[in-house]
């Protein structure tokens, strides 16, 4: 009966069945918590003291209730009603990371960010960083006003001193990350003009290689617009386009369009990935080949040559390199000419030129890779920046202005910038915190947070968006553009400047609205505007031979030395938002580690160096690149190419704030600039030595395990699926009265009746890319506490939704050595896991106080004020989704540096007022966003109509960029979920007849009858293999 | 006290019925303009326009801030009336004699313009003014103010109740006395009779109270009763911990609901604007107070500015919000939404807040305990008429003899209020 013979494991300790893992897996809860601060447990005396106190408190409470005030507005704004949320379209842009968003505000406070459905770029999805950015608004470490020499001052003093200082500074350089805003650019140009300055753009995570290649090949300045949805074959050389590369939310949305399959349309794209570190994209690939960074250029050349041979074009010379799957990729690309895409994450312009040539050969230009409608997400010029830093260090720069950028931390030569700033006569920063750069400059003119600002954006040719303030400025800050206008001697304020710009440049591109105010209002309401311009033809021939020669010089087929591939994590990114505890505690999609960066090492290296990683316990290693060295913990990463190491950027902040300071190490200083571009692949001069220092990485991967129960993951290959739609399904049967029946036919329970609604979730594991946006969305929506690294190590993370990442080994592998070999490059499956809202819920039957009960709409309800904390429910939950509040996480100084959203006055403003902040000693879990369900029902009732499908959505489903999570009413015959699950007859019964072959319940054999359905994972592979 | 209050609602209902009676059969007093329709729809439409726009300053049959309106089409032309309602200031500025006269008569208070009202709406409004709510007139004619009349009526039955109870106690006492007398008479009679020894013993038996007091049974019974009483009192007391029924804190401004909601019959929603929108009913912001208190500066037509009203002016002038004291403090762990109850459930404000229109100082009328919530959810019928949302539930419920109640559709479930 066991159809799927793969072995699934969450961590290497599970695969090899380490005793420590088994011990922890068998124990539902970690050992009883010690009192924070190292004291021993409470004594009997303490208990009596507490008793006495509580009695006194209770009697006091009985005498007099505290007087609470109800303070209304003096002048209530017309459209602000207490308890009614308002939504504003706006835009998130940080460096070149861009998302058009909708901001939910309550009583004038932004509390939640969702994607803007009208946006042609990111649509309704946002990634974890954007989702979490609302908390950075309430960061206490933001500057409260302008500073001169580190002293608080006022704006007029700063303006007058700064103007006179700049007047005599000599050459002025304005340093910035990518600016997507035309008006900001204009304001900055005016400022630059007034001081005779030059604008220098760099990006913490540079894509200069692509920009340079586009310039060389086609004379286009900008990144091409990629259309992964049009591609049937996708080949990526180290580009983590689903996780971190350029515009991941957009690409994920497109990618999954080509991966959604049904019985009627069983076609999906095939994805080849060649990379060193196991990235989120690699984890989703059908065929993944681990390669060394030193081979990556040659691999691209090999693909070019293979295609050139097929197309009869001239091949180029290049050292031959044996890389698995290149030929297969070439064959499939060739047979899908015009419907395929080849991308590379390399920052080497030569590699990108060859990539351009490949896409040209395949006829993909204009179809899946469009240079005629360029995107502007990255504009950084590594060469110019490098020259500037050299000049700055040499004291050749008179004045330097840093516009919202932090090169001391996030540029390869940060130390040189640090040294150079003191040599400039005038140094200015508009950064909103005293970060690594701002703390060194003389004048700090802090910018508003983006949720307090007006701005416009032009992320792509023809596409525009606006941002608007959603709250009055919290501090005495000033929008940087306004500062630039003031310093340039302009009289208009930035809002008027922006508005005039908008109507001046865009009013003429449409004819629908004739009034410019109305046009502005409409644009602001929608948040986005497309000018509908036709893209211009781009022509140019790619000169591949020069690039090939250059590649031949700098890449090697057989580098024996260690190689370092520096990457960015999905949650932390470049590190700009590192001071956000939601992002720090979000477990990395692949390593499942929190609160750290680490050196990812291959299993072979670990074995050779005798590193055994069990439950996060590991050792530190010293990595040396040239003359710089860092000591970092190692993390044994299945899928890591042998001989390579990975290290994430974004950590090791020293002046980010109390959350991020001292978390991890700064990898920026290891980046290499010697080839004229920021090189993330360090292939020479790398050495790694293991030290004897023990260390613990807070990984969540093996927490909440299923005790060896099988069939949690059900998957099939596309070929099998085409033959049989139920391929890969495990269909357990139970013996009853002489025959084998489905488990749902055997029940002790009478079964619930759901007469009105039957809420449920359908989760397509083929669409889930594991990005984790849902986990942060859930944290924001439901006031989930952040517990910090130590508590994660204690296995007490509070997340209501987790994404389980399973590695799998090929069928038939049974011996440990075979399994471990497979672990060198395993298949990966992501499974979002939250409360399954079982109809026969095991938790409900064991609660002694009926604190967890079932609703008449299919929800498993958790009543905090009734819970007495026996934790029987969590013990009895087969999915391990119940969380216990071991501590009072709010208003507790022990958690004030990690759980900022529940501990300081400002942080608390982000809390969702509709959801209780849980107390110590109670269990909590996913409520299927019952507050949203109740609100949606109320809206329908007030309007005397039925609930429309789609008007109620859970936070996770709303945030999902790929629609992998679908929420709906299974009693509504018209709902999307009913149609997805093919529920034919709508009954009021809790047990629905589901006809979709791919749909299954996790642990169906125990018949707890969940209301969450999973769809089998389908891989586009020829045969089942790793 | 509580019996008193619950009984007081009965005569209120009766008085409403009486009013309705007057409404339907009231006779026409004024000769209205023939263009003004007396169709019921027009009157109803006019009433809502009136309540939304005019009621703050006008009554039909009484002078208020502005003149009593009934008969206006008799006094002025329809066209003039419409122009005056739409933009009285323009009319006054144009030097129209009638308009200027009214303006001067009412202390030169400017009436806001109502340009947004269409011709048809104005006719509906006039229909209401001329033909609507005749009870208003009779109440006024009766000389008593509405609020007091109702309040006066409520005292009567409670007095009756006391009298009846008193009489009952008296009767019982008399019966006790009579019984005692009968026993002593019978004893005396028995004494005079010749009785056998057994009977004699029975008649003249002496009780040894000391012995009874010392008996185990007695001690156990008494102890049990004492423990039970103490436990009951303790439990009852514990249940009142945190229950603030009757809580009537002093407010920063001596605002009287009795005056505003009772005497002037200002709609609750006029100030508590959120009550139909969402969770919060909203304590009105000072600018809402100013809608009226721009003109009304003192109570009872006195000269000068009342010190209480002055506090509103201070708040507005200094941009300092008024810090009202919360009367109804629901714990944070329970979610309550006004709109659900008021809009969907059609629950009257008074059902939970009590006779707010009689409260000089607002107090917490209901206990606001979970038992109190649940009790109501058990008893209340769903208002499913004309609400498509409930169609399926009603369909499934139609075989039942019991009406569809809140409890039948999950109204007792935890996550309806706790999340």
CB contact under 8 A, B387 and A863: no
pLDDT in tens, A379-416: 999 999 999 999 999 888 888 999 999 999 999 888 89
Residue A107 pLDDT > 70 = yes
Residue B10 pLDDT > 50 = no
pLDDT in tens, A294-333: 988 899 998 998 888 888 878 887 777 888 888 889 999 9
- Above pLDDT 90, what percent of chain A? 53
**Residue entry with tokens 């944290």:** A779
- Interface confidence, given as ipTM, is 0.83
Give the pLDDT band of residue A365 (cuts 50, 70, 90): confident
| pLDDT for position A821 | 64
Mutate to test the interface with B, among A944, A972, A988 (most CBs of B within 10 A): A944
CB contact under 8 A, A65 and B244: yes
CB contact under 8 A, A81 and B386: no
CB contact under 8 A, B316 and A74: yes
Q: In which residue ranges of chain B is CATH 1.10.760.10 found?
A: 10-143
| pLDDT for position A459 | 92
- Above pLDDT 90, what percent of chain B? 28
| pLDDT for position B15 | 43
At A604, phi and psi to the nearest 5?
Answer: -65, -45
Q: Chain A 973-1012, CB below 8 Å of chain B: which residues?
A: 988
| pLDDT for position A822 | 64
More confident residue, A936 or A816: A936
| pLDDT for position A59 | 57
Give the span between the Cα atoms of B187 and B31, in whole angstroms.
Answer: 84
Q: Considering only A5-19, A126-140, A310-324, which range has the smallest mean pLDDT?
A: A5-19
Give contacts of B244 with chain A, Cβ < 8 Å.
65
| pLDDT for position B46 | 85
Residue B253 pLDDT > 80 = yes
Task: Name residues whose C-beta falls within 8 Å of residue A642's C-beta, 6 or more positions apart in sequence.
Answer: A290, A602, A604, A605, A824
pLDDT in tens, B292-347: 888 888 877 677 888 899 999 999 999 999 999 999 988 888 999 999 999 999 99
| pLDDT for position B155 | 45
The reply to whether A855 touches chain B by the CB within 8 Å rule is yes
Give the span between the Cα atoms of A423 and A395, in whole angstroms.
Answer: 5
Give the pLDDT band of residue A708 (cuts 50, 70, 90): low
DSSP codes, A346-379: ---HHHHHHHHHHHHHTT-BTTTEEEEEEE-S--
pLDDT in tens, A461-478: 889 999 999 999 999 999
pLDDT in tens, B276-296: 998 999 899 999 999 888 888
pLDDT in tens, A347-363: 999 999 999 989 988 98
Give the span between the Cα atoms of A1005 and A990, in whole angstroms.
Answer: 17
**CA nearest neighbour of B383 among B347, B345, B416, B341:** B345
**CA nearest neighbour of A908 among A900, A898, A896:** A900
Q: In which residue ranges of chain A is CATH 2.40.40.20 found?
A: 560-699
**Would you put residue B21 in left (φ > 0), alpha (ψ -120 to 50) or beta?**
alpha
Give me the CATH code for the A147-204+380-453+472-526 domain, please. 3.40.50.740
- Extract the tokens encoding A502: 């908008």
- Extract the tokens encoding A571: 């949650």
pLDDT (mean) for A877-905 = 91
Residue A816 pLDDT > 80 = no
Give the span between the Cα atoms of A619 and A635, in whole angstroms.
Answer: 9
**CA nearest neighbour of A226 among A53, A404, A373:** A373
| pLDDT for position B192 | 79
Q: Considering only A532-546, A555-569, A629-643, A1002-1016, which range has the smallest mean pLDDT?
A: A532-546
Of A756, A861, A947, the CB nearest to B414: A861
CB contact under 8 A, B323 and A930: no
The reply to whether A607 touches chain B by the CB within 8 Å rule is no
| pLDDT for position A1023 | 66
Residue B117 pLDDT > 90 = no
Q: Considering only A110-119, A926-935, B189-198, B229-238, which range has the smallest mean pLDDT?
A: B189-198
Give me the CATH code for the A560-699 domain, please. 2.40.40.20
**CA nearest neighbour of A582 among A828, A786, A733:** A786
Residue A284 pLDDT > 80 = yes
Give me the CATH code for the B10-143 domain, please. 1.10.760.10
CB contact under 8 A, A76 and B285: yes
Q: Is B300 buried (19+), middle (13-18) or exposed (0-12) by CB count in 10 A?
A: exposed
Mutate to test the interface with B, among A931, A942, A952 (most CBs of B within 10 A): A942
Give the pLDDT band of residue B157 (cuts 50, 70, 90): low
The mean of the pLDDT values for chain A is 87
Give the pLDDT band of residue A40 (cuts 50, 70, 90): very low
Residue A35 pLDDT > 80 = no
Cβ–Cβ < 8 Å for A489, A194: yes
pLDDT (mean) for A717-737 = 87
Q: Considering only A139-148, B51-60, B354-363, B388-397, which range has the smallest mean pLDDT?
A: B51-60
Neighbours of A319 (CB within 10 A): 15
pLDDT in tens, A737-769: 888 888 888 888 888 889 889 999 999 999 999
Mutate to test the interface with A, among B247, B285, B419 (most CBs of A within 10 A): B419
- Extract the tokens encoding B76: 């002025």
**CA nearest neighbour of A70 among B274, B258, B269:** B274
Element (H, E) at A862: strand A860-862
| pLDDT for position A3 | 47
| pLDDT for position B12 | 42
Closest residue in chain B to residue A919, using alpha carbons only? B333
| pLDDT for position B79 | 85
| pLDDT for position A799 | 92
The reply to whether A816 touches chain B by the CB within 8 Å rule is no
Domain A208-375, what fold? Dimethylsulfoxide Reductase; domain 2 (3.40.228)
Cβ–Cβ < 8 Å for A89, A116: yes
Residue A50 pLDDT > 80 = no
| pLDDT for position A30 | 59
Mutate to test the interface with B, among A56, A61, A69, A70 (most CBs of B within 10 A): A70
Give the span between the Cα atoms of A448 and A431, in whole angstroms.
Answer: 9
Give the pLDDT band of residue A966 (cuts 50, 70, 90): very high
pLDDT in tens, A771-802: 999 999 999 999 999 999 999 988 899 999 99
Give the pLDDT band of residue A1 (cuts 50, 70, 90): very low
Cβ–Cβ < 8 Å for A571, A774: no
Task: Compute chain A's Rg from CA coordinates.
Answer: 29
For residue A569, CA distances in Å to A575, A589, A648 come to 9, 9, 6
Q: How far apart are the CA of A435 and the nearest CA of chain B, in angstroms?
A: 37
pLDDT in tens, B82-113: 888 888 888 888 888 888 888 887 777 778 77
CA atoms within 13 A on the CB side of B238: 7
Residue A515 pLDDT > 90 = no
Q: How far apart are the CA of B320 and the nearest CA of chain A, in angstroms?
A: 7
Give the span between the Cα atoms of A722 and A1018, in whole angstroms.
Answer: 10
| pLDDT for position B146 | 36
């Amino acid at each position: 009966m066991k159809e799927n013979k793969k072995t699934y494991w969450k961590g290497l300790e599970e695969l090899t069945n380490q005793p420590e893992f088994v011990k922890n897996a068998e124990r539902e809860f970690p050992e009883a918590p010690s009192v924070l601060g190292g004291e021993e447990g409470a004594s009997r005396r303490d208990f009596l003291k507490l008793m006495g106190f509580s009695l006194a408190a209770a009697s006091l409470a009985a005498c007099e209730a505290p007087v609470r005030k109800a303070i209304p507005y003096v002048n209530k704004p017309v459209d602000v009603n207490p308890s009614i949320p308002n939504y504003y379209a706006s835009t998130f842009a940080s460096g070149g990371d861009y998302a058009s968003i909708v901001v939910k505000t309550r009583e004038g406070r932004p509390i939640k960010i969702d994607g803007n459905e009208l946006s042609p770029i990111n649509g309704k999805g946002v990634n974890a960083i954007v989702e979490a950015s609302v908390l950075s608004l309430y960061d206490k470490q933001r500057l409260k006003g302008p500073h001169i020499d580190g002293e608080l001052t006022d704006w007029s003093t700063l303006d007058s001193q700064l103007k006179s200082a700049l007047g005599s500074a000599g050459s002025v350089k304005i340093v910035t990350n990518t600016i997507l805003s035309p008006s900001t650019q204009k304001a900055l140009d005016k400022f630059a003009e007034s001081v005779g300055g030059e604008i220098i753009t760099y990006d913490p995570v540079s894509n200069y290689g692509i920009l340079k290649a586009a310039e060389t090949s086609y004379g286009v300045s900008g990144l091409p617009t990629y259309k992964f949805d049009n591609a049937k074959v996708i080949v990526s050389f180290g580009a983590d386009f689903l996780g971190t590369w350029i515009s991941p939310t957009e690409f994920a949305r497109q990618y999954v369009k080509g991966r959604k399959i049904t019985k009627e349309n069983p076609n999906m794209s095939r994805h080849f990935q060649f990379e060193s570190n196991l990235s989120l994209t690699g984890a989703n690939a059908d065929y993944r080949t681990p390669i060394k960074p030193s081979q990556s250029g040659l691999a691209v050349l090999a693909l070019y040559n293979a295609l050139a041979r097929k197309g009869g074009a001239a091949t180029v010379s290049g050292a031959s390199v044996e890389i698995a799957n290149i030929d297969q990729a070439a064959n499939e690309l060739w047979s899908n000419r015009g419907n395929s895409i080849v991308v590379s994450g390399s920052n080497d312009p030569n590699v990108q030129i060859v990539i351009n040539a490949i896409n040209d050969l395949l006829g993909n230009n204009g179809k899946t890779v469009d240079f005629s409608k360029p995107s502007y997400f990255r504009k950084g010029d590594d060469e110019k920046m490098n020259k500037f830093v050299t000049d700055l260090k040499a004291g050749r720069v008179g004045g330097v202005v840093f516009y919202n950028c932090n090169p001391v931390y996030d540029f390869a030569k940060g130390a040189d910038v640090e040294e150079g700033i003191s040599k400039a006569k005038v140094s200015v920063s508009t950064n909103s915190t005293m970060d690594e750069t701002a703390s060194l400059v003389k004048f700090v003119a802090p910018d508003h947070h983006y949720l307090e600002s007006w701005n416009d954006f032009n992320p792509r040719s023809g596409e525009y968006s606006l941002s608007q303030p959603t709250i009055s400025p919290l501090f005495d800050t000033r929008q940087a553009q306004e500062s630039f206008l003031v310093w340039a001697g302009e009289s208009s304020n930035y809002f008027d400047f922006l508005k005039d710009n908008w109507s001046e440049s865009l009013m003429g591109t449409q004819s629908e609205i004739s009034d410019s105010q109305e046009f502005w209002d409409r644009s602001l309401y929608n948040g986005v505007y497309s000018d509908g311009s036709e893209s211009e033809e781009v022509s140019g021939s790619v000169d591949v031979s020069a690039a090939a020669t250059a590649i031949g010089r700098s890449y090697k087929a057989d580098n024996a030395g260690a190689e370092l591939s520096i990457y960015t994590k999905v949650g932390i990114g470049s590190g700009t938002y590192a001071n956000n505890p939601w992002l720090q505690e979000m477990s990395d999609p692949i390593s499942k580690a929190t609160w750290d960066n680490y050196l990812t090492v291959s299993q072979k290296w670990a074995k050779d160096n005798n590193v055994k990683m069990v439950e996060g316990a590991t050792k530190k290693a010293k990595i040396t690149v040239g003359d710089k060295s860092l000591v970092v913990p190692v993390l044994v990463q299945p899928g890591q190419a042998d001989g390579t190491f990975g290290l994430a950027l974004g950590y090791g902040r020293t002046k980010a704030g109390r959350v991020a300071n001292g978390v991890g190490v700064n990898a920026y200083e290891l980046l290499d600039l010697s080839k004229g571009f920021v090189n993330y692949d360090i292939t020479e001069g790398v050495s790694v030595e293991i030290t004897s220092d023990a260390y613990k990485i807070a990984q969540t991967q093996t927490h909440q395990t299923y005790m060896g129960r099988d069939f949690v993951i059900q998957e099939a290959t596309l070929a099998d699926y085409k033959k049989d739609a139920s391929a890969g399904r495990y269909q357990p049967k139970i013996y009853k009265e002489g025959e084998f029946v489905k488990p749902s036919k055997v029940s002790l329970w009478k079964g619930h009746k759901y007469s009105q609604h039957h809420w449920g979730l359908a989760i397509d594991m083929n669409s889930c890319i594991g990005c984790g946006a849902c986990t942060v969305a859930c944290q924001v929506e439901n006031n989930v506490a952040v517990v910090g690294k130590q508590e994660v190590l204690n296995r007490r993370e509070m997340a209501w939704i987790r994404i389980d990442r399973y590695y799998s080994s090929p069928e038939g592998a049974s011996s440990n050595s075979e399994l471990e070999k497979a672990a060198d490059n395993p298949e990966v499956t992501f499974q979002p896991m939250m409360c399954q809202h079982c109809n026969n819920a095991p938790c409900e039957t064991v609660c002694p106080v009926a604190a967890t009960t079932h609703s008449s709409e299919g929800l498993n309800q958790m009543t905090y004020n009734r819970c007495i904390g026996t934790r029987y429910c969590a013990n009895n939950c087969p999915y391990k989704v119940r969380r216990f509040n071991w501590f009072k996480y709010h208003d507790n100084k022990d958690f004030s540096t990690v759980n900022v959203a529940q501990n300081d006055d400002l942080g608390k403003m982000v809390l969702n007022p509709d959801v209780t902040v849980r107390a110590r000693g109670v269990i909590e879990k996913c409520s299927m966003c019952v507050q949203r369900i109740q609100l949606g029902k109320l809206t329908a009732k007030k309007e005397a109509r039925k609930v429309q499908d789609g008007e109620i959505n859970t936070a996770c489903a709303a945030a999902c960029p790929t629609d992998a999570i679908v929420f709906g009413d299974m009693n509504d015959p018209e709902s999307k979920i009913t149609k997805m699950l093919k529920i034919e007859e709508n009954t009021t019964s809790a047990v629905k007849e589901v006809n979709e072959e791919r749909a299954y319940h996790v642990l169906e054999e125990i018949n707890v009858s969940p209301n969450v359905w999973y769809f089998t994972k389908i891989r586009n592979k020829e045969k089942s293999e790793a | 006290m509580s019996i008193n209050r619950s009984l007081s609602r009965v005569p209120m209902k009766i008085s409403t019925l009486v009013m309705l009676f007057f409404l339907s059969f009231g006779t026409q007093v004024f000769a209205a303009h023939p263009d003004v329709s007396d169709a019921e729809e027009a009157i109803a439409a006019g009433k809502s326009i009136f309540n939304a726009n005019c009621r703050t300053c006008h009554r039909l049959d009484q002078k208020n801030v502005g003149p009593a309106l009934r008969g206006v089409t008799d006094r002025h032309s329809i066209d003039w009336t419409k122009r005056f309602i739409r933009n009285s200031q323009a009319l006054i500025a144009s030097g129209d004699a009638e308009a200027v006269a009214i303006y001067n008569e009412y202390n030169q208070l400017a009436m806001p313009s109502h340009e947004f009202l269409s011709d048809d709406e104005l006719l509906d409004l006039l229909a209401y003014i001329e033909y609507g709510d005749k009870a208003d007139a009779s109440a006024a004619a009766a000389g008593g103010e509405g609020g007091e009349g109702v309040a006066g009526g409520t005292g009567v039955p409670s007095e009756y109740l006391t009298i009846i109870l008193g009489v009952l106690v008296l009767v019982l006492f008399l019966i006790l006395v009579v019984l005692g007398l009968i026993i002593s008479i019978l004893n005396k009679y028995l004494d005079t009779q010749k009785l056998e020894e057994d009977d004699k013993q029975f008649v003249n038996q002496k009780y040894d109270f000391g012995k009874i007091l010392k008996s185990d049974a007695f001690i156990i019974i008494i102890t049990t009763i004492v423990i039970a009483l103490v436990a009951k009192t303790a439990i009852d007391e514990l249940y009142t911990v945190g229950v603030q029924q009757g809580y009537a804190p002093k407010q920063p401004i001596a605002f009287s609901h009795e005056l505003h909601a009772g005497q002037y019959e200002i709609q609750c929603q006029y100030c508590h604007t959120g009550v139909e929108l969402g969770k919060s009913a909203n304590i009105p912001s000072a600018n809402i107070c100013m809608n009226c208190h721009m003109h009304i500066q003192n109570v009872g037509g006195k000269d000068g500015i009342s010190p209480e009203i002055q506090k509103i002016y201070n708040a507005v002038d200094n941009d300092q919000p008024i810090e009202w004291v919360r009367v109804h403090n629901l714990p944070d762990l329970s979610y309550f939404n006004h709109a659900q109850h008021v809009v969907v459930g059609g629950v009257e404000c008074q059902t939970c807040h009590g006779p707010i229109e009689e409260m000089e100082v607002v107090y917490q009328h209901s206990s606001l305990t979970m038992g109190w919530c649940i009790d109501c959810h058990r008893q209340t019928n769903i208002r499913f008429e004309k609400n498509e949302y409930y169609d399926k539930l009603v369909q499934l419920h139609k075989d039942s003899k019991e009406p569809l109640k809140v409890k039948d559709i999950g109204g007792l479930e935890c996550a309806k209020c706790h999340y």
